[in-house]
Amino acid sequence: MADRADVAAVEDWFVANGLPYFVDGIREDVGRRMRPSRLLAVLVVGVVLAVPVGLAVGLWADQVSYGVSSALTTLAGVFGVYGLLTLKAWLWIRWAAGQTLGSLSLMVPLVTRALPLLLLFITFLFINAEVWQVGATLDGGIMWAAVMLFAAIAVGFLLSRLPEELDAFDRDFDITRLSGACRGTPLEAEANRLRETHTQLPVPPEVTGLQKANLVLVLLVAQIVQVLLLSLSVFAFFILFGVVAMDDAVIETWVGHSPETFLGPVSRELVQVSVFLAAFSGLYFAVYAVTDELYRKQLFTSITRELERAVSARVVYRSMRRG
């Protein structure tokens, strides 16, 4: 049986690297908290809070769209808080955000590949009267609902494709890879021992259940941060472009009324159109990121290398736990 201090050090390493569900105790606790009865209780609490909030906001604003979007936001917030605090989600979010922000230097070559064609297409929409007419009418709750719809579609698409990035982790996996993958981790010595004393892996390398979900969620958060950064770049570009190139008289002709001042030379209509197009750009970029082979290679190389190391570490960890 492995020394308990060694096992604890390995578990701390998993947590520090955004993989709390690889720790047996945490995974079992989270599994209990994800039982249907527990999730149903969270849903009931969310609905109980969302309905009065939606009614109050809708009556106060005298707009149904404000009430609906507020109710949906409240419900999402309840599940978000439950996930962050109870399901230990903040552990892998912190790691994934740190990994992504630490690789911001990759944004320049990646964005220069994806952004030019995107801006070429989106800019033609930006100077289109119909887009301004639609964007100018997306007030408050409707705009927020449209942005959430784009975000939900993007997340759904990513969740359907990102598991494919994990397929190669346990394919052709053999014991000779353990030492190299675990180098620099608390598992290095144990990995070397296993390589010397075993000819085959002591435990299967396949990752399933909550452990696979942990890997997918780390990839998802990393990709969401990239999409958010690009969307903010598009938003800033159109705000600047609109201030420089869009005359108030042209905007009035397109939307049928004088543009309302939002902040200095920036009109409310310009902000709404820019938000709408930035959200659409984020959806496009999310799809592009997982379908373009070169972009996937550039974006996921460092992250997937870390995740592959985690899968190797899991094999050694499970061997230590089994004694």
Asked which of 50-54, 181-185, 199-203 is least confident by mean pLDDT, the reply is 199-203
Can you read off the two tokens belonging to residue 20?
């709390």
Of 223, 240, 241, 239, give the one whose Cα is nearest residue 282.
223
CB crowding 138-160: b at 16 or more within 10 Å, else e: beebbbbbbbeebbeebbebbee
Q: Most confidently modeled of 116-130, 227-241, 290-304?
A: 227-241
Is there a domain that residue 258 lies in? yes
φ/ψ bin of 185: left (φ > 0), alpha (ψ from -120 to 50), beta (otherwise): beta
Q: How many angstroms separate the CA atoms of 306 and 311, rounded?
A: 9
Angle at 283 between CA 230 and CA 254, to 5 degrees: 90
Q: How many other CB atoms are found less than 10 A from the CB of residue 137? A: 12
Is there a domain that residue 220 lies in? yes
CB–CB of 118/281 below 8 Å?
A: yes
**Does residue 140 carry a pLDDT above 70?**
no
- In total, how many domains does the chain have? 1
Is there a domain that residue 316 lies in? yes
Average pLDDT over residues 6-15: 79
CB–CB of 287/247 below 8 Å?
A: no
Is there a domain that residue 309 lies in? yes
For residue 305, which amino acid is it? R
| Domain, as residue range, for 244 | 91-322
In tens, the pLDDT along 296-308 reads 676 666 666 777 7
Q: How far is CA 319 from each of CA 85, 194, 198, 241, rounded to the nearest angstrom?
A: 30, 9, 11, 59
